[in-house]
Amino acid sequence: MGRRENAIRLTALDEMAERRGLKRGQGLAEARAMFPDLDAIDEDEAADHALLEAIADWCDRYTPLVALDGRDGLFLDITGCAHLFGGEEALIRDILKGLFQMGFDVRAAISPSPGLSWASCRYGRGGVIEEEMAEASLAPLPVNALRLEEKLVTSLSKLGLKRVGDLIHLPRAPLARRFGAQLLFRLDQALGSHEEAISPRRPVVVLSAECRLAEPVQAEEHVLEWTGRIASSLTESLDARGVGGQVFELALFRVDGRVFRITAGASKPLRDPQRIAALFGERLTAVHDDLDAGFGFELLRLNVLQHDVLKTVQNDFTGDGEQQISLADFIDKVSARLGMDCLQVFELRQSHIPERAEMFLPAIAAPSPVPETGGIFKPRADRPLRLLRHPEPVDVFAATVPDGPPQRFRWRRVVHEVFRAEGPERISPEWWVTEKDASERDYFKLENRSGQRFWIFRKGHYGPDKVPPTWHVHGVFA
């Protein structure tokens, strides 16, 4: 039971309740008046949704195009997939058998349109409906099977239009004028005259290959062995496109229906099956405690989620080309084992503000983690080699106003006497930056009497009608 339309209503029924005449959507008070011994349990929407997602994961073995339909239904686009399971009849039997063995009593239908399948499952008998039988299958169903609003269903019933067959052959113009365009739109969707697309819950993969095992596997070495074999079957498709995979997903379908998805990325496009399998070897090591093989995995699927053009590299005279791939291979393995953020590189940005002039990125996701031209970033000689992550405020004493450097400043509870000073150097933000904290800065290079050198800046200006400026340390020279 759950709250619907400001009332506590029945949201789901077991077989006994259905045989006694109770209906979904019926008020709880009315149901208890009819059957005082009624046992009603509060619904758990989060748990129901998680269960539906788990069933959808299990259905991924039949097609990658699986969509959620409300709270208790699924749409599967099996275009081009039925022949892999022996035809539509065999496919629907396999789905129903698998779900029944897991304890679910479901109804399924295969038809030319999602609307007809929805209607047949919820108000008919389901099964396989051929295109020429669409109208005959839909006609005896109630108008509720067209997914209409309750008010519209009530209006149709008052006129005696209770079955879909009562609407099919009526003049369309009067129906549209009286009941609106939704009625004809839903009717056309059910009959297949108006195409209806489903929205898969997961992005469509670029390339995919799978292997159904006669005997489930449990050991990680066996999983990796089959992963390498599946990766080998993808080589030809990748080669035909002239690309290599950069982000891979390994889906492990356990015997009891649970699905594990493991993602691994590469810093450069890959096509070598051994290196792809090695990536998942590192990932399996990292997720070892979270991967419960149970009674084994019966289906393994390798998806290429992202690919890029694979640039061929001429090997050295030894013919192995290890020098070219050693750094990329190291980045891939360490990132797979310890996470994407464990290795980072910087990328230059077009900005005058020092902390915005570069940005740290995971090495595996950087545009070119392995420099091809041997270029090395060389910072300006008049800048600190290392900047603080965030400029730290300092207390300044005896500053030479209006634009001079301070004579003393206190930073991190230590007072520094300024022996030499150079500046100011004014740095202004880009004109299009409108952030509140974006304002021009006057930078100074200061050296204390012990030889330590600091890079500090003043934000704001001195003046009788102005807010006092603030001072910050931004970096320390080596």
Q: What is the pLDDT of residue 372?
A: 46
Q: What is the pLDDT of residue 356?
A: 77
Is 207-337 in the same CATH topology as 2-42?
no
Q: Rounded distance, CA 417 to CA 407, Å? A: 6
Radius of gyration in angstroms for the set of CA atoms belonging to the chain, rounded to a whole number = 33
- What backbone torsions phi and psi does residue 376 show, to the nearest 5 degrees? -125, 135
- 196: number of CA atoms within 13 Å, CB side? 21
Tokens 């070897």 belong to residue: 281
Q: What is the pLDDT along the chain (478 residues), one digit of tens a residue?
A: 888 878 888 888 888 888 888 888 888 888 888 888 888 888 888 898 999 999 999 999 998 899 999 888 999 999 888 888 899 999 999 999 999 988 888 899 999 999 999 999 989 888 999 988 989 999 999 999 999 888 999 999 988 899 999 898 888 898 889 888 889 999 999 998 888 888 888 888 888 999 999 899 988 889 999 999 999 999 888 888 888 888 899 999 999 888 999 988 887 888 888 888 888 888 888 877 778 888 899 999 999 998 888 776 655 555 555 555 577 777 777 777 777 777 777 777 777 778 777 777 777 776 654 444 444 555 566 788 778 888 999 999 877 777 888 999 999 999 999 999 998 888 888 777 766 556 788 999 999 989 999 999 998 887 777 778 899 999 999 7
Q: Rounded distance, CA 300 to CA 227, Å? A: 8
Provide the terminal-to-terminal Cα distance of the chain, rounded to the nearest Å.
69
Residue 421 backbone class (left: φ over 0; alpha: ψ -120 to 50; beta: rest) = beta
Across the strands, what pairs with 265? 247
Across the strands, what pairs with 455? 445, 475
Q: Give SS3 for 139.
A: coil
Q: What is the pLDDT of residue 381?
A: 65
Query: Element (H or E) spanning 261, and its range?
Result: strand 259-270
Fold of the CATH domain 207-337: Dna Ligase; domain 1 (3.30.1490)
Indicate the class that CATH gives domain 2-42: alpha beta
Buried-state track 212-246, b at ≥16 Cβ within 10 A, e below 16: eeeebbeeeebbbebbbebbeebeeebeeeebbbb
Signed CA dihedral, 283, 284, 290, 293: sign only: positive
Report which of 148, 244, 136, 237 is spatially closest to residue 191, judged by C-alpha positions.
Answer: 136
- 185: number of CA atoms within 13 Å, CB side? 8
Total count of residues recorded for the chain: 478
- Preceding amide of 424 cis, omega within 30: yes
Tokens describing residue 414: 């230590």
Q: What is the pLDDT of residue 331?
A: 77
pTM of full prediction above 0.75: no
Q: Give SS3 for 430.
A: coil
Domain residue ranges in the chain: 2-42, 46-191, 207-337, 386-476
